[in-house]
Structure 1
Amino acid sequence: LYLEHGTAGSKLLPVGISLSDYLDILAVPGIEAEVVGIISESIFSIGWAQWILSDLPQDSVALAMKHPEMDRPTAHAACPVLAIAGDETLAGCVPARRRRQLRRARQAASRCGGIALSSACGSPQTFLDQLIRLHNVRWAEHGGGMLANPAVEQFHRLSLPLLDAHGLVRCWLLAIDDRTIGAYYGFHHRGRAYAYLGGFDPAYAEESPGAILIGHAIVESIREDAREFDFLRGQEAYKYGWGAADRWTMRRVWTRS
């Protein structure tokens, strides 16, 4: 947590607010209540006018905290989630219209040349080279994407190899005739897949490389027995086209009288 000082008083906020899709108190399973009590006692001894916790999953530890000055939890942000069902045809979870669009995208890509989908897990730096190139090209006309920031790039250069070593990332590259035109960066943990970031070559927009990669990622999540495919925060229309439904995170605010 950190203190943000303003004219209306100090706010206590979690590190990662506005950047992370999910925030919570991390506790060893089985002792959450004890941890919450210790944290509450410590936090309320700090001088702040408001303590704000946002982006809390509905089963989060922080929602179990109780205090007379705490507001009731309120809905904060939507994270569209696809419930995984069925087999690798996607018929059990993805709407028929999107499945038809996916078939057409693959056919269009095939007409451009030989297509290849490959896992980049095990080669994190090579994957990041391609992802950053494609992401920056995609967002060049809009002031640059998030990976255009050198500090963000450095963070991923350091963190991705560690995440990869623990089997948490799912990195896919899409190529046509050995030319990489799309990259997908996601995660998989405890039966849940997360679609984090992607990039594609705008010259191949008609072939829908982003859709091909997401479709492939969902298929792979089925093969790994995932229960859910989480598109993370944001109500972009394409997420609902895959059949995702909103799951809301919660927000808690403690205001001292």
Structure 2
Amino acid sequence: MIPAFSGDEWWDLWRRDPRATPFQSPAWMEAWWECLGGGERIDLEARGPDGRLVAALPMTVWHDAGMRRLVPVAAGQSDYSDALVDPAAGPDAVAGLWDALLATANRWDEALLPDLRADSPLLGPVPDGWRAVDEPGEVCPVMVLPPAPPLLAGLSKSKRRKVVHDRHRAAAVGEVSETIVGACGITQALDALFALHAARWAAAGEPGVLADPRVQAFHRAAAPALAAAGLLRLSVVRLDGRIVAVLLGFADGRRGYSYINGVDQSVPGQSFGTLAFAVAIEDALVGGAGEFHFLRGEEPYKYAWGAEARTTVRRRVVRVGSSLKFMPRMLLDGR
């Protein structure tokens, strides 16, 4: 389905919204829709007096056991879901978006807004006749970056020692390189990511979230579009020319993000994953980012980097008097 708003104005709004993340970009959402979407899509928008797009939220209707839920496009694969809102448009932009949302209420029973950050404009009061129920979403640890490079100078003594130690240990077994690959290296890096991730989960007797060919197709479609917009960061570690770690991440100038990784665990005593994260965080710092987002999950290594827990909000909106049915969280989890 063609979006209600054009790609050019969607990108323009994305760039005007300082809260926007790569998950709200056309590169991410349209690749998801092409590879994993389907059904009824409802693109919500608000425009200013001059017709300029000032708020946008692509949504889709998800049928679940007789319940019609309106959810953001790509919610399952997006660690942050939110609307794009031009801050210069003032409160009318958000009010217009709510008007657009509620104007479609005959097509859904409940609006589900998962993974909203605490400062989301969608967490304000809802219009009369509607009620919102908020609950904790996912824990997404965030590392506040030092004011300037180098990265090691801003780390704790123990973490600084570990990064240096892991680099020396890897160099002792072969020639090691750590790079952010360009557009010409995307295919090879994704091939390695899928293979390394599969090997790790096969050892645990599970397929892993990247096993689905549709999910792989989604990332193959999204990555070049993200790269063209300057948002993709594929950190690759090689040992004697062989890829031993890949970290799929993003950077938007304000923040760096780690999304998913694959690490060769066949070389004893090595921590290639540490090196992949180091190059990604260093890249974000050099690019002027103030934060590095490890995204959902409370794995200990995230806190070892100095990250602090931040919890998203899951908001559900229904008419006053309507009942809210229980919905297990895993139904929307894409990773």
Question: Which segment is superposed worse, 235-244 or 19-28?
Answer: 19-28
SS at match of 1:202: coil
Name the residue aligned to 1:153.
Answer: 216
How far off is 1:81 after superposition? 0.3
Structure 2 residue 114 is matched with structure 1 residue 51: no
Q: Kindly indicate whether the alpha-carbon contact (under 8 Å) linking 1:169 and 1:187 is maintained by their aligned counterparts in 2.
A: yes
Q: Kindly indicate whether the alpha-carbon contact (under 8 Å) linking 1:181 and 1:204 is maintained by their aligned counterparts in 2.
A: no
Aligned-partner Cα distance in 2 for 1:153–1:99? 34
Correspondent of 2:190 among 105, 113, 128: 128
How far off is 1:71 after superposition? 2.9
Alignment size in residue pairs: 256
Amino acid at match of 1:131: L
Correspondent of 1:75 among 136, 144, 162: 136
Structure 2 residue 231 is matched with structure 1 residue 171: no
How has the CA–CA distance of structure 1 residues 163 and 89 changed in structure 2, closer, same or farther, with 3 Å as cutoff?
closer
Structure 1: give runs of 5+ residues left out of the alignment. Answer: none
Q: Kindly indicate whether the alpha-carbon contact (under 8 Å) linking 2:253 and 2:287 is maintained by their aligned counterparts in 1.
A: no
Name the residue aligned to 2:98.
Answer: 40
Amino acid at match of 1:99: R
Q: Kindly indicate whether the alpha-carbon contact (under 8 Å) linking 2:143 and 2:292 is maintained by their aligned counterparts in 1.
A: yes
Name the residue aligned to 1:25.
Answer: 83
Identity percentage over the alignment? 32
Structure 2 residue 158 is matched with structure 1 residue 97: yes
Aligned-partner Cα distance in 1 for 2:123–2:96? 15
Correspondent of 1:214 among 260, 277, 283: 277
How far off is 1:205 after superposition? 5.4
Correspondent of 1:2 among 42, 60, 84: 60
SS at match of 2:312: strand
Q: Kindly indicate whether the alpha-carbon contact (under 8 Å) linking 1:121 and 1:169 is maintained by their aligned counterparts in 2.
A: no
Aligned-partner Cα distance in 1 for 2:99–2:266? 56
Equivalent runs, 1:111-122 vs 2, <5 Å: 111-122=172-183
Correspondent of 2:306 among 232, 243, 247: 243
How has the CA–CA distance of structure 1 residues 67 and 125 changed in structure 2, closer, same or farther, with 3 Å as cutoff?
same
Correspondent of 1:63 among 108, 120, 123: 123
Aligned-partner Cα distance in 2 for 1:7–1:140? 32
Structure 2 residue 201 is matched with structure 1 residue 139: yes
Q: Kindly indicate whether the alpha-carbon contact (under 8 Å) linking 1:184 and 1:199 is maintained by their aligned counterparts in 2.
A: yes
Q: Kindly indicate whether the alpha-carbon contact (under 8 Å) linking 1:106 and 1:207 is maintained by their aligned counterparts in 2.
A: no
How far off is 1:5 after superposition? 4.5
SS at match of 1:232: coil
Amino acid at match of 1:27: V
Correspondent of 2:291 among 200, 222, 228: 228
Question: Which segment is superposed worse, 33-42 or 172-181?
Answer: 33-42
Q: How far does the alpha carbon of each residue in 1:116-153 deviate from its partner, in whole angstroms, 9 at most, with x for none?
A: 11231222112212222222222222322222211111
How has the CA–CA distance of structure 1 residues 27 and 205 changed in structure 2, closer, same or farther, with 3 Å as cutoff?
farther
Question: Which segment is superposed worse, 15-24 or 187-196?
Answer: 15-24
Q: Kindly indicate whether the alpha-carbon contact (under 8 Å) linking 2:175 and 2:240 is maintained by their aligned counterparts in 1.
A: yes
How has the CA–CA distance of structure 1 residues 111 and 57 changed in structure 2, closer, same or farther, with 3 Å as cutoff?
same
Question: Which segment is superposed worse, 103-112 or 40-49?
Answer: 40-49
How far off is 1:67 after superposition? 2.2
Amino acid at match of 1:23: S
Q: How far does the alpha carbon of each residue in 1:56-96 deviate from its partner, in whole angstroms, 9 at most, with x for none?
A: 1222221235324323644322110000015314232x322
Structure 2: give runs of 5+ residues left out of the alignment. Answer: 1-58, 322-335
Question: Which segment is superposed worse, 222-231 or 15-24?
Answer: 15-24
Amino acid at match of 1:39: L
Amino acid at match of 1:97: S
TM-score normalised by structure 2 residue count? 0.70
How far off is 1:228 after superposition? 0.3
Aligned-partner Cα distance in 1 for 2:307–2:143? 4
Q: Kindly indicate whether the alpha-carbon contact (under 8 Å) linking 2:248 and 2:258 is maintained by their aligned counterparts in 1.
A: yes
**Larger RCO: 1 or 2 (CA < 8 Å, sep 6+):** 1
SS at match of 2:161: helix
